[in-house]
Structure 1
């Protein structure tokens, strides 16, 4: 159970008239309190501007009955029909590719077993990694032969009610010398099977819950109403079904159908369809994949596998505790429901549940829009990279320091993962949703993503520069129409994850005369997809190069939601340079450095940027690494699409060797890859004009926003940025 109060919303972006539902889990008995606040700055670090909240009187302010709501992680398939699977004689079979055999837990493959009542049956992998079967109140039986991880097997259990015998066996699809290719054991059961619960694939029932989650792929599960012979089981591997045996088949599920949906199709003709729960990974290579095609749309029969995980989570499914209807006239911005409880000793547990308010669609209340990178927030949602020694210590060149949020996520494994994490079985996480508490999308967390972006809202508020907020969710759904009301669009500090629709919209906007301020780095880097029917979820595959936390398996680079190739946008023919001039060059997380003006900054085209600024270093200060250029940095490259007329007006080059050159630019490893020796490890500040009077300004640095508040906002980074904003919202064409 959770020891702290937690919450999430049903939507991230809202306009006046929309209703935002808040789902809360409160650990203490009695009540919890809530109030609405507008978040101006979330950086409460000693060096930062401080936590800044504006109290907003609203209908949600008050006390609510407290209740704990569970998080039920783990994916499976639920077959809606029950009665057809209560059979006197039956055969259950499937092709399986287990990834954690012998993990000390039972892992169900398929069946209607209910642990709460001790009824029904299930084919499963036991605690020792051996194929096993259980029925009714009989003790489980097992082959005693441990399955190999990441190998395809045909597994089956054949039950004859007349004799009470069950035959349990597996056949290896890839055999090895000294290991039996086929194993078969027969046992006699004393007690009846009994009527089971729901028929599940990759889990079994425990009353109304699912448990015994399976880790690995399953392909071609079948149920037959007869005790089949070994040769007959083999004849049912493929589709279409064997004509002679089809009359005995109760259900034959084809996971290659409806890959982009949650539907699971029974192709036996009996229509015993099902649906996936908690989004197991689809578009996975099946047992018969032969590398002849790498796109599941071209050869779907080779992609009949679903990869299940015991830590998959899409939607917590919590009940709504209170709702907020966004009133007309509420100022656009970042809002939070601040929720809290106190125990008898006065100890407080609190949470901030964020959402974003934009003006009515098609309208604007300011000439400037801050584009909130919600897709990137989801990509990093509840990430646990800090506990991965290879990332934090090898990549960052510093010892790992875990925050309170990091520790909490380590101690509570059910919150769902980011696309930077690996599942329990070591496979990469492809899906991430906001329908769960996201502990690092909060104020008072580390200065990365969400909290770092409040440096921008804080600065805009301090300088009284009018702005609206819009989100990636809006941009993906509405395209360029979302941007048209604004003269200028400002990105967040790290807009890394983009769909084609989002990228097209921004390119159309700048080509049509819009002005874009790219306020970060490592932006427009990875290609993702939103699901057409499921709210609040993105998909990403780490295909073909890039600075990757994991990499996709062979044949699994195409996204199940849309069929698009994932991976780097540069590998998809759309390098970020084409949009903003810069692209990811290097990363290092020890310290940041200042920019220095270049000769191009004297060009009359850029004169407006440097009014009131001399030749001093730009940004030799800041809360993110101590400088304006750092953490992750971008560089111009005309070979990748940087416009030939672009002006590199300032650059930072004196990065230490803790800054690592991006590996996608290396043909092979060598010694000259780090900051102190590699001229490609640099950060370019850039300006260029676009067609129809538009323009682009790029900082090329994630650390940049952390320098805006220095010296009470009176500094050269703040002045330069103010100069750009004022010129970019000026309707005079460039």
Structure 2
């Protein structure tokens, strides 16, 4: 009997009461599953905590669901909109473009661009043979004729490639010329490679042009009896300015194009100018055809734009400054941002369903894979509470289905332990249908810069423990804060990063207090502006985490479900963007660290990322500031000097990733240090952005900077910010049935922040202003 597997995702991650949400479900080994709407309260099954806690909700959507296997379109490509079949060519033609292959010798055929049906062998295509040679082919529906180049393509080297076909005589010319310069390729002019090849032959037959076959840039049409049509044989690498012209272009004409010229204007059928459409606000997913037929091409699974092209000179690192040098569009056969599964069920959120964290729980059979939680967040139609939990969904996207735990050679030295592998881990590792995270690299070594929630995210599930660390991470860790709020019977609303990005300050302005998740690492400019404005206009922020407000991310306005980030030359990162490829195509902004754009986290919250370690967590010790009469209320009820000596993440409240007070990076000068951790193991290392020179001793036992600072400062209009400075703090709250010193401090702060009127210690705030 086949093992039962259930997976699913939603079309929205955040919904209001009265709105509809779609569920996309995949099943294998069963055609029925038991579905139940549940409210998620606590996820971590650590024996020192309350365990897994959920509440079943009565709803019409509950019951037996018929389910079935679904299919996923993997690989990024461009599909040309050609309603009049202009590219169904029954005459002489020439096809050409610039290419930068990343895995030419892939072992399987790659379609660079053309109009070809892989299943029926119909059409024409310029591509790469399994052995890495450039190849042009045509198919008549029965057989395929091929013409290959004389020399194999070198990886990460720019070429101009072209093929011409004389429809009457069957004569074919294949043109390959290297166009590498001092900057644009992996190797330079000093390497004595020969890149040039010019071959010709006569084909036996003409291509068959079926009307329903699309022209595809990076791929060919395929068919399977169960899934129907899809795109396969996708290409790995960059393409710049592909085109199709009528007639057989001469060698001189091709040489002119190879050098940067244009083809004869009256010959152009389609010319996709990959440098068109750039603006201050970014680049769209549509590639513009500047030819007479306006056959624009639409991107699937987000081909990466804003990349250096064949003629990049190295003088500019921004596509807005030198758009003509940024025609490169990169494609990956293992890219996935939208699974495109059928909608299986739709639910209207009841008006009576209170704001919170929810899921559709699916069950069928035994084992981890036979149970699925399709998670979503319900926000109120109108704010009803003084307190808001800001769900860091951008960070959930960044880590979605990460494979760093298995693929990175450094992971065991980093974490100090071998990965703990579950059935879920094995399943998501072996199936490309789940896509990758921004901590992963594609098979060709390029970093993944897009991540979306239109696919199952198996590590955004309530019981999941990250295999490399053996603890809860991101979403299930944040449920420890939700559990604490529920245990203490607070009235609260839930708002996601997506809501904050879309609505800005308006999303959180109604609340007296906003609590963050354990790891709000990824943030857009709109999100960051909203939080800063919220604080400066009298809001009160509880930053319950570490390594927050760190990476610059972007979203297309019409695609809130897909996030983009570029990892630059600073920060703790799993990959680095290539030279000149630092700007987001979604917004036109420079990505990388917010610190690199003059907005270090310390300026916003008082603390910023200083170290990480994944072996043990420590406790805090009260600092002299904590006895100051402006802030002594924060530690009221704490016996002695120790805070956070319990926790579900390595046994303490100060651990995993740590933030530190730093006046040199913008910590408000009147900030009080309530408590600090110390004694971290040598598994804790200083973050790379702190280094100018590397030297021995940048570890927990030797570097005084490696600590977590718990801080507090007041802001204008009776606002304030409290920071825990540690990811592990949120997971410490449930220890000993929520009865612990970290919980006491947290409760003091939240109670003070949600009260109307002046903050405790307010009568002494004039003392804080002496620094002026």
TM-score, structure 1 normalization:
0.97
The separation in 1 between residues aligned to 2:56 and 2:85, in whole angstroms, is: 56
The separation in 2 between residues aligned to 1:255 and 1:240, in whole angstroms, is: 15
Q: Give the conservation status (yes or no) of the 8 Å contact 1:340–1:348.
A: no
The separation in 1 between residues aligned to 2:362 and 2:587, in whole angstroms, is: 37
Counterpart secondary structure, 2:28: coil
Counterpart secondary structure, 2:333: coil
Aligned with residue 295 of structure 1, among 315, 318, 324? 318
Q: Does 1:200 pair with 2:216?
A: yes
Q: Does 1:210 pair with 2:231?
A: yes
- The 10-residue stretch of structure 1 (86-95 or 17-26) with the greater mean CA deviation from structure 2: 86-95
> In the alignment, which residue of structure 2 is the partner of 1:705?
730
> In the alignment, which residue of structure 1 is the partner of 2:98?
95
Q: Does 1:187 pair with 2:201?
A: yes
> In the alignment, which residue of structure 2 is the partner of 1:269?
292
Q: Give the conservation status (yes or no) of the 8 Å contact 1:256–1:301.
A: yes
Encode CA deviations 1:639-683: one digit per residue, 9 max, x unaligned.
111111111010002111110101101001110211111111111
Q: Does 1:149 pair with 2:152?
A: no
Q: Give the conservation status (yes or no) of the 8 Å contact 2:49–2:736.
A: no
> In the alignment, which residue of structure 1 is the partner of 2:419?
400
Aligned with residue 86 of structure 1, among 88, 96, 107? 88
Deviation at 1:169, TM superposition (A): 2.6
Note the 1:299-310 alignment, pairs <5 A.
299-310=322-333
Aligned with residue 137 of structure 2, among 134, 138, 147? 134
The separation in 1 between residues aligned to 2:583 and 2:387, in whole angstroms, is: 36
Q: Give the conservation status (yes or no) of the 8 Å contact 1:586–1:633.
A: yes
- The 10-residue stretch of structure 1 (492-501 or 459-468) with the greater mean CA deviation from structure 2: 459-468
> In the alignment, which residue of structure 2 is the partner of 1:356?
377
Encode CA deviations 1:587-637: one digit per residue, 9 max, x unaligned.
000010000011111111112111111224211221101110000000000
Deviation at 1:2, TM superposition (A): 9.9
Deviation at 1:31, TM superposition (A): 2.1
The separation in 2 between residues aligned to 1:68 and 1:727, in whole angstroms, is: 51
The separation in 2 between residues aligned to 1:703 and 1:198, in whole angstroms, is: 52
> In the alignment, which residue of structure 2 is the partner of 1:76?
77
Q: Give the conservation status (yes or no) of the 8 Å contact 1:544–1:568.
A: no
Encode CA deviations 1:550-588: one digit per residue, 9 max, x unaligned.
111111101001100111000011010111100000000
> In the alignment, which residue of structure 1 is the partner of 2:122?
119
The separation in 1 between residues aligned to 2:256 and 2:420, in whole angstroms, is: 56
Q: Does 1:445 pair with 2:452?
A: no
The separation in 1 between residues aligned to 2:258 and 2:607, in whole angstroms, is: 51
Distance change >3 Å, CA 348–CA 672, structure 1 → 2 = closer
> In the alignment, which residue of structure 1 is the partner of 2:269?
250
The separation in 1 between residues aligned to 2:477 and 2:638, in whole angstroms, is: 25
Encode CA deviations 1:164-207: one digit per residue, 9 max, x unaligned.
12122310113566432310111221132111421111111114
> In the alignment, which residue of structure 2 is the partner of 1:339?
362
Q: Give the conservation status (yes or no) of the 8 Å contact 2:477–2:731.
A: yes
Distance change >3 Å, CA 590–CA 460, structure 1 → 2 = same
Q: Give the conservation status (yes or no) of the 8 Å contact 1:386–1:402.
A: no
Aligned with residue 244 of structure 2, among 206, 209, 223? 223
> In the alignment, which residue of structure 1 is the partner of 2:763?
none
Note the 1:438-587 alignment, pairs <5 A.
438-446=457-465, 447-587=472-612
Q: Does 1:378 pair with 2:397?
A: yes
Deviation at 1:237, TM superposition (A): 4.6
Q: Give the conservation status (yes or no) of the 8 Å contact 2:150–2:199.
A: no
Encode CA deviations 1:233-260: one digit per residue, 9 max, x unaligned.
2323577734xx1111111101122352
Give structure 2 stretches of 5+ with no counterpart: 181-188, 224-228, 466-471, 760-772
Q: Give the conservation status (yes or no) of the 8 Å contact 1:220–1:237.
A: no
The separation in 1 between residues aligned to 2:196 and 2:631, in whole angstroms, is: 74
> In the alignment, which residue of structure 2 is the partner of 1:325?
348
> In the alignment, which residue of structure 1 is the partner of 2:67?
66
Q: Give the conservation status (yes or no) of the 8 Å contact 2:369–2:424.
A: no
Q: Which runs of 4+ in 1 moved over 4 A?
A: 175-178, 237-240
Q: Does 1:589 pair with 2:614?
A: yes
Counterpart secondary structure, 2:500: helix
- The 10-residue stretch of structure 1 (137-146 or 322-331) with the greater mean CA deviation from structure 2: 137-146
Counterpart secondary structure, 2:589: coil
Deviation at 1:291, TM superposition (A): 1.6
The separation in 2 between residues aligned to 1:251 and 1:3, in whole angstroms, is: 48
TM-score, structure 2 normalization:
0.92
The separation in 2 between residues aligned to 1:257 and 1:178, in whole angstroms, is: 35
Q: Does 1:17 pair with 2:18?
A: yes
Q: Give the conservation status (yes or no) of the 8 Å contact 2:76–2:332.
A: yes
Q: Give the conservation status (yes or no) of the 8 Å contact 1:387–1:402.
A: no
Note the 1:417-432 alignment, pairs <5 A.
417-432=436-451
Counterpart secondary structure, 2:154: coil
The separation in 2 between residues aligned to 1:560 and 1:492, in whole angstroms, is: 28
Distance change >3 Å, CA 23–CA 688, structure 1 → 2 = same
> In the alignment, which residue of structure 2 is the partner of 1:435?
454
The separation in 1 between residues aligned to 2:350 and 2:593, in whole angstroms, is: 40
Counterpart secondary structure, 2:642: coil
Q: Give the conservation status (yes or no) of the 8 Å contact 2:306–2:583.
A: yes
> In the alignment, which residue of structure 1 is the partner of 2:655?
630
- The 10-residue stretch of structure 1 (227-236 or 280-289) with the greater mean CA deviation from structure 2: 227-236
The separation in 1 between residues aligned to 2:257 and 2:506, in whole angstroms, is: 52
The separation in 2 between residues aligned to 1:444 and 1:451, in whole angstroms, is: 6
Q: Give the conservation status (yes or no) of the 8 Å contact 2:339–2:433.
A: no
Q: Give the conservation status (yes or no) of the 8 Å contact 1:92–1:157.
A: yes
Aligned with residue 679 of structure 1, among 704, 728, 735? 704
> In the alignment, which residue of structure 1 is the partner of 2:715?
690
The separation in 2 between residues aligned to 1:431 and 1:302, in whole angstroms, is: 23
Q: Give the conservation status (yes or no) of the 8 Å contact 1:8–1:436.
A: yes
Q: Give the conservation status (yes or no) of the 8 Å contact 1:41–1:457.
A: yes
The separation in 2 between residues aligned to 1:64 and 1:598, in whole angstroms, is: 57
Encode CA deviations 1:471-518: one digit per residue, 9 max, x unaligned.
101111111111121110000000000111111111111111111000
The separation in 1 between residues aligned to 2:214 and 2:190, in whole angstroms, is: 38
Q: Give the conservation status (yes or no) of the 8 Å contact 1:418–1:432.
A: yes
The separation in 1 between residues aligned to 2:138 and 2:719, in whole angstroms, is: 70
The separation in 1 between residues aligned to 2:197 and 2:532, in whole angstroms, is: 59
Deviation at 1:310, TM superposition (A): 0.5
Q: Give the conservation status (yes or no) of the 8 Å contact 1:385–1:391.
A: no
Aligned with residue 650 of structure 1, among 667, 675, 678? 675
Counterpart secondary structure, 2:96: strand
> In the alignment, which residue of structure 1 is the partner of 2:58?
57
Deviation at 1:89, TM superposition (A): 1.4
Q: Give the conservation status (yes or no) of the 8 Å contact 2:48–2:736.
A: no
The separation in 2 between residues aligned to 1:612 and 1:222, in whole angstroms, is: 73
Number of positions where the alignment pairs a residue of Structure 1 with one of Structure 2: 728
Structure 1 vs Structure 2 CA RMSD:
1.7
